[in-house]
Amino acid sequence: MATSSATTVEGYLAELPPERAGVLRAVRDVILERLPPGYEETMNWGMISYEVPLARYPDTYNGQPLGVLALAAQKRHYSLYLNAAYASSELLGQLRAAYAEAGIKFDMGKSCLRFRDLSGIDLDAIGDIVASVPPERYIAMYEASRAR
């Protein structure tokens, strides 16, 4: 499934076969456990999205909430979009180092970290990245990128 028309996270997970939903639930649990206050979990762009609400930060280039993370089941893999790691060489380096230390193949293009099952994702490293980017930091990163 590349995208979904589900309007809720539970609806999205219910569309998936149980084993695929289980993988997303495991990653989602880590995200929710470590996600700093101020973000909202929604369905956007056909996937589970973690965003700065427009009520908090309305000045985005496309009028959409500022998305820091997204999680999706694709046809042959899973995708975790780590926009903050893409925008920060420090966070990207931290993530690469954690994967190397864990002996896990690092398969990331732009912001999209791809993995085929839970053995292909370092949940501790993901949790550390998620926890390290409160909304204020992400907004500052976004504004700096727009100023260039």
| Structure confidence by residue, pLDDT tens digits, 89-130 | 999 999 999 999 999 999 999 899 999 999 999 999 999 999
pLDDT digits (tens, 9 = 90+) for 68-93: 999 999 999 999 999 999 999 999 99
Residues of the chain with pLDDT > 90, as a percent, come to 90
Residue 148: the pLDDT is: 74
State how many domains the chain has: 1
Question: Is residue 82, in this structure, part of any structural domain at all?
Answer: yes
- Look at residue 43 and tell me if it is in a domain: yes
Q: Residues 104-139, buried b or exposed e (16+ Cβ, 10 A)?
A: eebebeebbbbbeeeebbbbebbbbbbebbebeebb
Please give the distance of CA 79 from its chain centroid, rounded to a whole number: 8
Q: Could you give the CA distance from residue 78 to residue 72 in angstroms, rounded to a whole number?
A: 6
Any domain includes 3: no
Q: Which CATH number characterizes residue 17's domain?
A: 3.90.1150.200
Q: What long-range pairs does 38-41 form, CB within 8 A, spacing at least 24?
A: 38/134, 38/135, 38/136, 39/68, 39/135, 40/65, 41/9
Q: How many CB atoms lie within 10 A of CB 39?
A: 25
Please determine, for residue 1, whether its predicted confidence score (pLDDT) is greater than 50. Answer: no
* Confidence at residue 2, expressed as pLDDT on a 0 to 100 scale: 54
Give me the domain span that covers residue 101.
9-147
- Average pLDDT of 44-55? 96
pLDDT mean over 24-29 = 98
Mean pLDDT of the chain: 94
Average pLDDT over residues 21-34: 98
Q: Is 2 part of any domain? A: no
| DSSP designation for 56 | T
In-domain check, residue 1 = no
Span 137-145, mean pLDDT? 94
